[in-house]
Structure 1
């Protein structure tokens, strides 16, 4: 029941910002375009599916990049 340091927000904090406020801003910058697009295309199922797929792929790529430790 202990938290770990490999959640997305912790990786952004540790690898990029070292600041909770900056971490929040970076995560918002990533999420907001997808929220806006989802609202704009709220009645277009195919567009929502494509937006979701793009979000998932980008999230995974960014997560992998942040979680990969180089020596």
Structure 2
């Protein structure tokens, strides 16, 4: 049988703690995983981003935003 009363008995507990730490870290810590599907941008988000980048003028932005608001 196994005798855990030796000096190495504490290592068994340490390894369990290390494994539990890794399991918690893998499953519960949010992380950006490569090739993970990203959140799909809404049309309004795209419109705001284009306006912020200077691709649209203020008038074009407001007109497009009115069109999007009427469709909802």
Same fold (TM > 0.5): no
Where relative contact order (Cα < 8 A, 6+ residues apart) is larger, the structure is 1
Relative to its length, the structure with more helix (as a share) is 1
Q: What is the TM-score with the length of structure 2 in the denominator?
A: 0.30
Compare CA radii of gyration and give the structure with the larger one: 2
